[in-house]
Chain A
Amino acid sequence: MSVAARPAARRLTSSVGVLSSTTSTTTATTTAIISSQIPLCRRSFSSTPPASGRRKPRFRNITARDLGLISPTSQKRDTVVTGEQIDDFTAKKFPKYTDAEKAELRRMYTPEQIAALEAGEASINPKDLTIQGRLRTDVYRLPYIDDFAEHQPIIDKRPPASRGRRISPPDPNARFMNTDEFVGDLIEWADKFRVGEPTGTLKRLEDFVPKEWRKVREGQWPGEVRDQAHKDFKKYLQEEINKAAKYQENGGVVPGGPTDADVLSYILERSSMTDKNIQTQSSLALALPDKVPGVAGLYTAAVDAADEGLDETGVYQDLKRRTGMKVQEILKLQSKTLLENRVSNQTRMGKIASYLVFTVVGNGDGWVGLGSAKSQEPSLAWQKARLDAIAKMKPIRRYENRTIYGNVEAKVSGTVVKLFARPPGFGLRVQHRIFEICRAAGIYDLSARVPRSRNPMNTVKATVEALHNQKDPEEIAMGRGRKLVDARKVYYGGATQ
């Protein structure tokens, strides 16, 4: 198998260090030639000795995974997938047809279909299915499952015009209409809704005489022709007057005339260029049809009745879905902006400034989250940071619902935050940013030290990390198989407050 053809496979195999053995023979020979020309003992740029030079333990150990003490997926180091694991997974997940299954297939399908099935089986390597063919679970996956076999106009890009679609290429000679062209275009549109005579013209007396007398003046018409023409003309005028009277009665609405929707469609959709109103691949979106195929009837308004009108703009809809909280609950959370920085990105266009905001959100009862966001608009950054913090809210462990369990420490970069549990009534004797975090989390007795760097951003990060990383006494007790007793509770007969 040539790995060079499959980038994903190459990445996998190179990460386990077997690339050289799996590359094609030509590559192997070229590397051999190159390596013979370059001296093998090159100066290393790292002080770390090569793997072969590192000291091996003299006494072989047995890993916890081999003993079954920990689950294989828990170790971060195990993100490197070995070839064996890939083969195992392939064999388990994509097995070949058994004889029984083949017999069953032969019963259901014709020999031609069976041949096609077998050809299909033979053409796809199950290892490729393992390495490449899987549903994505990462954050950046598409929000729908699709093999891109069909074109879906709602979510896919418009296909090129060359496939004989209705959309034709734009007219290269099109220009904006001048006044006359515009008037002509308007009349052409209005004539679609014509009720009576063509717009702007009433019939004259001459229209009611036979053709041969039209070019002659009225005085030369014969008597009976003139009488008949006057009679018809009078009747016609009376009809027109009646029509106008009916129009007034209807409140100015001409029956069969353009509706409001027609006027809106004229304003929004009719091209103002001399391209005969042909739709083109412009940057403007196509107007949606009355009923969008595929979603007709499925679309409901974003406003949820359960919100009681508290979220008209739909800001919290995503959070509702992700956290399972109601909008009423989200609005009750207390938040505080801990720091704002003006940061800039240096590009060839110059410095592009934006605001970086860190916000803490908590329910004052053991849940706290730290969110950060950047935006060129400060108000947008505040909002985004708050939403981020709400999404990241997690419960913290609180001793007697007022302080932390023991002393905890967390380090972010050069900043070390040490938090110390304190007795009831001690208060929050901590710096202001840690104070706000504690208040959001519902901690009332605490002291803290930040002995090293006091970088505000790292301080708040480390504080939240420390609060989330408290030890669990139950877990310690179960891990050691020993009983752990809170002496304070024992002394006061188990009272917690």
Chain B
Amino acid sequence: MGIHSICNALSHLQNASRAKLGLTSIPNTKYNLRFALALHRNGFISSVTRAGLTPPPPEALLTFETEPVTTANVSTRRLWLGLKYFNNKPVMSKLEAVSTPKRYVTAEYRQLAKISRGFQAGHVKGLNLGETLFLSTDKGVLEIREALEKRVGGMVLARVS
């Protein structure tokens, strides 16, 4: 499974947050969905909603009844992500791809432990204040601290802060 859709989503979300968008969309793929939910778990985005080509009504984002995905509508489904702002600044301002479709970067558990303490391990630099690392593991897309808790390593997708 390639990671091009994740890389595209990263660029798009960074552009969207710099353009001060409130609600934006990325293609509806399983990988994107897992990544979006991981961002949501870590408080970077406010909502993840599957809808069609037009944005769902913002006032009904949390109560929106999503249509079941069928072969008839699968091509028009998109994931609508609500971006967060605090003190007029985007909560998620920098998204940087670590693995690219051309070069996959992996890190095992011991390396992750070093990285999370701020030290470089392999090709991955240590985390700075407020930075997070998202990984694709056997147990889904996880943030680095979740991966450490589950004692798993995996492919390093993105550095988000």
Tell me the A residues contacting B by CB distance below 8 Å.
59-67, 69-71, 74-75, 405-407, 471, 473, 475-476, 478-482, 484
- B128 in the interface (beta carbon within 8 A): yes
- B43 in the interface (beta carbon within 8 A): yes
Q: Are A476 and B130 in contact (CB under 8 A)?
A: yes
Known pairs A64-B22, A67-B23; list 16 more (Cβ under 8 Å): A59-B24, A59-B78, A61-B16, A62-B22, A62-B23, A63-B20, A64-B21, A66-B58, A69-B22, A405-B129, A406-B128, A406-B129, A406-B130, A473-B130, A479-B87, A482-B42
Q: Compute how far the CA of A405 lies from the CA of B21 in the bound complex, rounded to whole angstroms.
A: 29
Q: Are A70 and B20 in contact (CB under 8 A)?
A: yes
- B149–chain A nearest beta-carbon distance, Å: 14
- A92–chain B nearest beta-carbon distance, Å: 23
Q: Compute how far the CA of A366 lies from the CA of B145 in the bound complex, rounded to whole angstroms.
A: 33
- B98 in the interface (beta carbon within 8 A): no
Central interface residue in B78, B82, B85, by most chain A CB within 10 Å: B85
Q: Are B55 and A479 in contact (CB under 8 A)?
A: no
Q: Are A473 and B20 in contact (CB under 8 A)?
A: no
Q: Are A71 and B88 in contact (CB under 8 A)?
A: yes
Q: Which A residues are CB-close (under 8 A) to B88?
A: 70-71, 74
Q: Are A478 and B78 in contact (CB under 8 A)?
A: no
| Interface pairs (12), CB distance under 8 Å | A62-B23, A62-B55, A64-B85, A66-B22, A66-B58, A67-B58, A69-B85, A74-B88, A406-B129, A406-B130, A407-B129, A479-B86
Q: Which B residues are CB-close (under 8 A) to A471?
A: 129-130
Q: Are B86 and A475 in contact (CB under 8 A)?
A: yes
Q: Which B residues are CB-close (under 8 A) to A480?
A: 42-44, 84, 91
Q: Compute how far the CA of A187 lies from the CA of B43 in the bound complex, rounded to whole angstroms.
A: 94
Q: Are A61 and B42 in contact (CB under 8 A)?
A: no
- B136 in the interface (beta carbon within 8 A): no
Tell me the B residues contacting A by CB distance below 8 Å.
16, 19-25, 42-44, 53-55, 58, 78, 82-89, 91, 128-130
Q: Are B25 and A64 in contact (CB under 8 A)?
A: no
Q: Which B residues are CB-close (under 8 A) to A75?
A: 20
Q: Which B residues are CB-close (under 8 A) to A63?
A: 19-22
- B116–chain A nearest beta-carbon distance, Å: 10
Central interface residue in A59, A407, A471, by most chain B CB within 10 Å: A59
Shortest Cβ distance from B55 into A: residue: A62
Q: Which B residues are CB-close (under 8 A) to A70?
A: 20, 85, 88
Q: Which A residues are CB-close (under 8 A) to B130?
A: 406, 471, 473, 476, 484
Q: Compute how far the CA of A75 lies from the CA of B54 in the bound complex, rounded to whole angstroms.
A: 26
- A63–chain B nearest beta-carbon distance, Å: 6
Q: Are A478 and B86 in contact (CB under 8 A)?
A: yes
Central interface residue in B22, B83, B87, by most chain A CB within 10 Å: B22
Q: Compute how far the CA of A67 lies from the CA of B20 in the bound complex, rounded to whole angstroms.
A: 11
Q: Which B residues are CB-close (under 8 A) to A74?
A: 88
Shortest Cβ distance from A71 into B: residue: B88
Q: Which B residues are CB-close (under 8 A) to A61?
A: 16, 19, 21-25, 55
Q: Are A67 and B91 in contact (CB under 8 A)?
A: no
Q: Which A residues are CB-close (under 8 A) to B87?
A: 475, 479
Q: Are B43 and A64 in contact (CB under 8 A)?
A: no
Q: Compute how far the CA of A70 lies from the CA of B21 in the bound complex, rounded to whole angstroms.
A: 10
Shortest Cβ distance from A484 into B: residue: B130
Which listed residue, B24, B78, B84, touches A69 by the CB 8 Å rule? Answer: B84
- B117–chain A nearest beta-carbon distance, Å: 8
- A78–chain B nearest beta-carbon distance, Å: 9
Q: Which A residues are CB-close (under 8 A) to B128?
A: 406-407
Q: Compute how far the CA of A62 lies from the CA of B25 in the bound complex, rounded to whole angstroms.
A: 10
